[in-house]
């Protein structure tokens, strides 16, 4: 299938980008978070992203996942509004790539 990328940044904040590698069935093979944000617990961030492997991308509730990721990793420099924007962008990219609606919640 390929790679899906979505990023978000508001003025005065850090940039955050999620990159997903998908197989032909739109199942996540790998995921990573990139940007100039800071994570107090980068191991938790990595564990959450690794936990997406094997999940059908249209079944991920992106807003909930991103909020959990921030809480678990102690990520800061990114507001809730930025995460909301990123969730919508991810859902749009998933819909475009996989032809199915994706969950934003």
Which CATH number is 74's domain given?
Answer: 3.30.390.50
Write out the residue range of the structural domain in which residue 25 sits. Answer: 2-94
How far apart, in whole angstroms, are the C-alpha atoms of residue 92 and residue 53? 20
DSSP-derived 3-state class of residue 29: strand
pLDDT number for residue 27: 94
Distance of CA 67 to the CA centre of its chain: 10
Q: Where are the alpha helices (DSSP H) in 1-105?
A: 42-50, 62-73, 80-98
Band of residue 45 on the pLDDT scale cut at 50, 70, 90: very high
pLDDT number for residue 101: 55
How many domains does the chain fold into? 1
In a domain, 48, yes or no: yes
In a domain, 104, yes or no: no
Percentage of the residues of the chain whose pLDDT score is greater than 90 = 75
* Tokens (6 digits) for 43: 């191991």
Band of residue 99 on the pLDDT scale cut at 50, 70, 90: confident
What are 64-88's pLDDT values in tens digits? 999 999 999 998 889 989 999 999 9
């Amino acid at each position: 299938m390929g790679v899906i990328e979505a990023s978000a940044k508001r003025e005065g904040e850090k940039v955050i980008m999620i990159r997903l590698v998908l197989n032909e069935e739109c199942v996540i093979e790998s995921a990573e978070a990139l940007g100039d944000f800071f994570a107090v617990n980068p191991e938790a961030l990595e564990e959450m992203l690794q936990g997406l492997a094997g999940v059908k991308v249209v079944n991920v509730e992106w807003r909930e996942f991103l909020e959990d990721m921030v809480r678990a990793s102690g990520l800061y420099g990114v507001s809730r509004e930025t995460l909301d924007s990123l969730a919508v962008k991810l859902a749009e990219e998933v819909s475009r790539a996989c032809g199915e609606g994706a969950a934003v919640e």
